[in-house]
Structure 1
């Protein structure tokens, strides 16, 4: 409707201008008046041709250098326009219409310098390029999108504007061109100062992250090349007159459940939530490398549970979910967590990753701690926004022998985040 009205208005301007000059020549007469009229005729023919030039039939395509990136990366794009008729065009303005999800920046760890002022990362992305195609049938323009935030971003529209050199006729059309950019969350480097390992005899804590636990001997066997010299059982060797080595009990992996607070609340810091997503992904990767099985429970607008099992398909689903998850829902995290009691009891170790603390959540964490072997809390927030009430709750959680670690901008801006569990 808007396009039809614009076409009628442009046509009216051209016709009125032609009628005025023709009337002036007819009534005024003389060389000057008719000279003006015939001098305008080529312009009138061009404007008439431009008026009916089918801009909506142009073939517009968008080529992206990459469709899948990591948050903070950049891509280049090229918009190409092809048209069948080499009608002369003085100028052409090409504009990429960005979705709301791209209206913020992700500068990776540098973004956490704005932890107390997250609104400073909001931007109004706008890409407008001016071209002078003249008689060319096809032309293209390139641009780049930098510091792409985490999420699934849909590029759907390209706006094209053009007009004649005098500004009498202007045309605009929006082309529906579908492309998707998927920005996975950044996998942060984490250093665990403790590793939790369990055996049939009980549970122990080891500070060596990648050192095999070989202090529980289950029996002896004959020596084979590659066994350590310190493993030799000299008593059995002397008794059987052959070299015997100790055989150690295999380490049993620990089941770990991460619980991510994905609920919306009035004081939610969007950067704290981004850090929570990155820490969740990084912890899952660290546990996988340690041969510990870890699951994920996200509680927000919807509750999504990824069971404690290790396979490529499950890891892919978790990665996809953490790419698109956004805070939502109208109920507090602490209340919804209470409703997921059965899932919370699935892990030997339960780790809460939250950006908000309240008294009801503290009581729920204490109850979970009583039913599981160990519980830990990662509280992510800006240093300047921690309230006295939250400080009181943190102290109460510590008193209950629950490990709670506060991650502020001071820790998040480092290349490697020091993390303690327990």
Structure 2
């Protein structure tokens, strides 16, 4: 309904401008007829070409233009510059005095439009390009608008090209010095029972039954043969699996936290490790533990789009959403704020399941927070490793945990 009204309004405006042009042309002719003399006829003949051009421009269809926008890359890294190329083609070489090419940029970019003024003349092909530096996020280009007009400023013509394109910008990352975290929990002050799990598909031997053994572990043949309760002894395998919990709390350090999350994911996948990702925000995203190269792509896609919109306490969400499915893995919590509720939550049920590391990420040159210092000391007393890392100093993240 609204579009139909706008279309009728534009038609009325064009008709009104045409009437105005004819009135001006008629006035100049009448003035020349009644006034006579060289000056009056000179004015009429000087105005006539401009009026004729305006009339021809009114009849010239901008729909004859064909537009193409090209982007060399659809996946970039934050801070990179993308070169956007625009090509305009037409068949009829009508002389256009000027043309404004307006590329409607994504809403997340501060300058939401890019305009270029060109003078095409009789050209049938026009090539344009412009650079654009992008930060982390998903960007959507809507379309391109062409605007032209006559010398007198009476007529103005527009043409909208609906051409949607998307670009995904991944966060920057640093290459970390890789060291499996389970050694911290095997040899340090904290025991991590999750780092060793029994493979119930491989039976190595039998032994006498011990209190706490499951009924499914009982070897009934050996029990009947020895007349003593015997249990199966399974092979024990070690795991370096890591479950990353990302707290999307809205702080000034959020982008640094995203960068660190990308860094740790990239490093572990490159070294053949397995990891999962649990992102806590307005919506919870759970990516199970895997080791394929596709895992990196899935997590990076999420980190490119992620927003700081966590409102619920992290410990409550983790207990409710992650605890029932928590696999045998070290828990690495990435946050940009540490409080007592977080420490208490990690000290509870999840704490009994395995080792926990908390990375407290801050922007570069951020002063120390005294309140967080107290909570970090409390966490260390409870056996939870908390390390504060600053932007640009992520490289030794694994080593600092092992030295804690």
Q: TM-score, normalised by structure 2?
A: 0.76
Alignment gaps of 5+ in structure 2: 1-5, 189-234
CA distance 1:415–1:6, change in 2 (3 Å): farther
In structure 1, the residue corresponding to 2:182 is in which secondary structure? Answer: strand
CA distance 1:291–1:39, change in 2 (3 Å): closer
CA distance 1:370–1:333, change in 2 (3 Å): closer
Alignment gaps of 5+ in structure 1: 104-122, 206-248
Give the equivalent residue in structure 2 for 1:152: 138
1:135 aligns with 2:135: no
1:288 aligns with 2:259: no
Give the equivalent residue in structure 1 for 2:63: 56
Give the equivalent residue in structure 1 for 2:170: 184
Question: Could you tell me how far 1:133 is from its partner in structure 2?
Answer: 0.6
Q: How does 1:1-400 map to 2 (within 5 A)?
A: 1=6, 3-4=10-11, 7-8=14-15, 10-101=17-108, 103=109, 123-124=110-111, 126-146=113-133, 148-192=134-178, 195-197=181-183, 203-204=186-187, 252-263=238-249, 265=250, 268-269=251-252, 272-328=253-309, 330-343=311-324, 345-368=326-349, 370-382=351-363, 384=366, 387-400=369-382
**What do the CA deviations read for 1:117-143 (whole angstroms, capped 9, x no partner)?**
xxxxxx536532221110111211111
Give the equivalent residue in structure 2 for 1:401: 383
Distance 1:352 1:78 in 2: 42
**What do the CA deviations read for 1:364-419 (whole angstroms, capped 9, x no partner)?**
122255223211111112454654433322222222221111122xxx23584544
Aligned residues: 347
Give the equivalent residue in structure 2 for 1:421: 401
Distance 1:303 1:315 in 2: 18
In structure 1, the residue corresponding to 2:26 is in which secondary structure? Answer: helix
1:257/1:351 contact within 8 Å kept: yes
Distance 2:121 2:266 in 1: 55
CA distance 1:64–1:292, change in 2 (3 Å): closer
CA distance 1:415–1:386, change in 2 (3 Å): closer
Question: Could you tell me how far 1:258 is from its partner in structure 2?
Answer: 0.5
Question: Could you tell me how far 1:192 is from its partner in structure 2?
Answer: 4.5
**What do the CA deviations read for 1:284-321 (whole angstroms, capped 9, x no partner)?**
23333444321110111211111112223333322222
Question: Could you tell me how far 1:187 is from its partner in structure 2?
Answer: 2.9
Distance 2:324 2:13 in 1: 59
Q: TM-score, normalised by structure 1?
A: 0.73
Once the two structures are overlaid, the 10-residue window that deviates more, 370-379 or 28-37, is 28-37
Distance 1:368 1:8 in 2: 76
In structure 2, the residue corresponding to 1:191 is in which secondary structure? Answer: coil
Distance 1:342 1:335 in 2: 10
